[in-house]
Amino acid sequence: MQKSLYIDANKCTGCLQCEMACSYENYGVFNISKSRIKVFNFEHAGRKVPYTCTQCAEAWCLHACPVDAITLDALTGAKVVNDATCVGCKVCTIACPFGTVNYVAETGKVQKCDLCGGDPACASACPTGAITYVDANWTGLDKMQQWAGKTDTQPRANG
């Protein structure tokens, strides 16, 4: 059974514990600028929304990489960046329609969520349950992908 992160923005308080846990898990420091998950502040709406890689089935980042530095983790289904192979060309950052693959200037490589090997630190650290690690069939990923692939650009009537 594949699992994925499920984010319930209604439960997010903007505490940034997910960002802190991610940076500590991946870099051994509490530094939100190093986090692979970000909490966006929609000030006008008064909401905070955690956001990270959705591990797309049709992973554009993986297919775009010219050196095959992004591979599929068979156990978790995560698309994982191999730092030793990555040349820092940033093609994957352009290919990702969600903007969740990021270039790290310090290393000259890219980074993205890798689901922490099947035990996501962000989900474990979230005190409100806004981020959970659940059966992928329950996340609504298919709906997000449908929405992302819409080609209907006709204006809709109000009403």
Give me the pLDDT at residue 135, please: 84
Amino acid at 109: K
Extract the tokens encoding 74.
């068979």
What's the domain range around 132? Answer: 1-52+121-136
Within a domain: 129: yes
As a whole number of angstroms, the distance between CA 54 and CA 5 comes to: 7
Beta strands per DSSP E along the chain: 3-7, 38-42, 47-51, 70-72, 79-81, 102-104, 109-111, 131-135
C-alpha triplet 123, 11, 128: angle, nearest 5°: 50
Task: Tell me the whole-structure pTM to 2 decimals.
Answer: 0.81
Beta strand 131-135 pairing with 109-111: unpaired
The three-class DSSP label of residue 119 is coil
Together in a domain, 108 and 57? yes
Same domain for 37 and 58? no
Q: 13: domain CATH number? A: 3.30.70.20
> Is 41 inside any structural domain?
yes
Determine contact, residues 62/79, Cβ cutoff 8 Å: yes
Looking at residue 140, its pLDDT comes to 58
Residue 3: pLDDT band by 50, 70, 90 thresholds?
A: confident
Query: What pLDDT band is residue 2 in, cutting at 50, 70 and 90?
Result: confident
Q: Identify the pLDDT of residue 40.
A: 94
Domain-embedded: residue 143? no
Task: Tell me the pLDDT of the chain averaged across its residues.
Answer: 89
1 and 37 part of one domain? yes
Using DSSP's 3-state secondary structure scheme, residue 47 falls into strand
Q: Is residue 103 part of a domain?
A: yes
Task: pLDDT band for 159, please (50, 70, 90 cuts).
Answer: very low
**Residues facing 49 on adjacent strands:** 40
The DSSP bridge partners found for residue 58 are: none
Q: Please tell me the predicted confidence (pLDDT) of residue 88.
A: 97
The residue to which tokens 């009537």 are assigned: 157
| Domain total in the chain | 2
The arithmetic mean of pLDDT across residues 94-101, rounded, is 95
Whether residues 21 and 70 share a domain: the answer is: no
- Structure-block tokens of residue 35: 């986090």
With respect to residue 45, please indicate whether it lies within any of the assigned structural domains.
yes
**Residue 55 in tokens:** 């591990």
Average pLDDT (32-54) is 94
> What is the spatial distance between Cα 27 and Cα 46, in angstroms, rounded to a whole number?
31
pLDDT of residue 154 exceeding 60: no
CA triple 39-42-47, angle to 5 deg? 80
